[in-house]
Amino acid sequence: MVDLALTGFAFVVVNVALVVIVMPDLVGPGPTWLYYSFAFGVWMYSTFDNVDGKQARRTGTSSGLGELFDHGIDSLNCTLAFFNP
């Protein structure tokens, strides 16, 4: 089963890729759809990130390694949030 936090993180990575393509110099306001895309991506990331822990506890598949992986994905998300337009 694919970790839901990793699936949610894919939304953030796609948004960062869009910023790099649309606004490579990160100067000036971007198109309106880009802001909506980032809002949707962050919402999906937080939803998936919150659901995966609850699902792991419910199914009895939670572990220390899973928690470490989840926190690692969270730290990568915080790093990539810098590219938010």
Residues labelled as active-site residues: 71
Max alpha carbon distance in the chain (Å)? 48
Helix (H, G, I), strand (E, B) or coil at 60: coil
Residue with tokens 């939803």: 47
Rounded Cα–Cα distance for residues 25 and 81 (Å): 16
Reading the block at residue 38, the tokens are 């980032």
